[in-house]
Amino acid sequence: MRTVTRKARALLAALLVTTSAVTASAQTEITFWHIFDAGPAAEFIDQVVQDFNAANPDVRVTHLGTNFWDYWTRLTTATAGGIGPDVAMNDLGNVPSRAVAGVILPLDDLLGDDGLEPFWPATREAVTWDGRVWAMPMETDVRVLYYNKELFRAAGLDPEDPPETWDELVAYADALTVVEGGRIQQLGFGPTLGNTYFPLYAMLNGEDFLAEDGSLRFNTPAAVEALQWMVDRQNAYGSRAMTSFSATFGTGASDPFMSGKVAMIIQNNTFPGQIAQYAPDLDYGVAPLPHNGTPASWSNGFSLEISASTQAPEAAYRLVEYLMSDEVQAAYARLNYSMVGNMAAAQADDLMADAAWPVFVEQMETSRFRAFSLEAPTWYDTALQPEVDAALLGTKTPQQALDDAQRSYENEVRRYRETN
């Protein structure tokens, strides 16, 4: 009797081991790479992946977080070497580059009957190329105006009435600026300070640089007007004074707005988290960007993409679907003020109850992505920024600067076509 029981137990144990081994080998393994390598974000994504694995026993996801600065090199090298991840976060601003290079899979099958409707209008164009959808907008962002209520009161301005137009912004800025002995002690508004650049001012003046044929055009009257306004604002209190003043700031506690030296600044939706960390006693307000006829803002963000060389597209689809679901997106939004791509999740009740969040949501409705150029994907850095710098320094007029930017861009396009 005892021998039979022992043999039976041994047989049962062997059966269990074999079954679990068979089940394990039947599991589809996929990898997911992201930028959350430490802190609450890393714990969050770990929990999300665990939940997905538990809910999908036939799939096993291993994930890897790399810090933002090293992530891009790592991802590019691994993908080029054929050992890239099945699902990866990437730059929402240049999805077409990877679509054209054939390194990502189209995701049209992933969309429900609503298509791209659940996602912010700004992001819909960013994930589309050649009539197909190539990525999911995991996270986007938006720029708004932050203003120092205490400085407003000290200057006799109503802290609940922030500027809405460029003219109002200029009037407020002049009232809030203090210049002593040729040096700026307190600045109302600096067009190069914060999270802003010339294309944003062009957008606020109704110009998105896109010509009818899909190429880019920088030297339109609206663009020249916007650059002239930017130059005027930069030199309003002395060009040298502004440059030296701007050079004294950095990040964290030495940020121009958080240090209380600049009254109004353009920043993105993750700024409140930084203010809570570095300047918790700051009395500030948030408002939509002052515009010159076209309410607008600028967005970029992170995409979720599936590698074209994945061995398990179906499992990868499921992971992406899960990461874009209402629950996961809402939890991600709560984590650190991230403007997730899923509109319903972004407008969850507890988020909308926050003081600044409704302003971000309102601004998202008029926000746009930067125009994309396949031949010159970093046109804003290579062709445009040096000319904007020249105009701000006064070595070129805005018209000359933008004409030269146009020439630079066309040169880049021609070189791309010659060497591709």
| Binding site residues, other proteins, CB under 8 A | 73, 76, 79-80, 98, 101-103, 183, 240, 243-245, 247-248, 377-378, 382, 385-387, 389-390, 393, 395, 408, 411, 415, 418-420
Minimum distance of other proteins from residue 317's CB (angstroms): 22
Task: CB nearer to other proteins: give 166 or 197.
Answer: 197
Minimum distance of other proteins from residue 102's CB (angstroms): 7
Cα(137)–Cα(127) distance, integer angstroms: 7
Minimum distance of other proteins from residue 309's CB (angstroms): 10
DSSP E strand boundaries for 335-404: 339-340, 367-369
Task: CB nearer to other proteins: give 336 or 397.
Answer: 397
Minimum distance of other proteins from residue 290's CB (angstroms): 27
The dihedrals phi and psi of 175, each to the nearest 5 degrees, come to -70, -25
Task: CB nearer to other proteins: give 28 or 246.
Answer: 246
Reading the block at residue 177, the tokens are 């600026």
The dihedrals phi and psi of 194, each to the nearest 5 degrees, come to 90, -155
DSSP E strand boundaries for 92-226: 128-129, 132-133, 136-140, 143-148, 178-180, 183-194
Task: CB nearer to other proteins: give 73 or 325.
Answer: 73
Distances (CA, A) of 384 to 84, 198, 205, 335, 401: 33, 9, 17, 35, 9
Distances (CA, A) of 351 to 237, 329, 337: 40, 12, 9
Minimum distance of other proteins from residue 93's CB (angstroms): 13
Task: CB nearer to other proteins: give 7 or 183.
Answer: 183
Return the exposure string of 203-216: e unless at least 16 CB atoms fall within 10 Å of the residue's CB, then b. bbbbbbbeeeeeeb
Minimum distance of other proteins from residue 420's CB (angstroms): 5
Task: CB nearer to other proteins: give 239 or 292.
Answer: 239
SS3 267: strand
Q: Which residue has the tokens 């679990």?
A: 20
Minimum distance of other proteins from residue 296's CB (angstroms): 26
Task: CB nearer to other proteins: give 3 or 420.
Answer: 420
Q: How many residues does the chain have?
A: 420
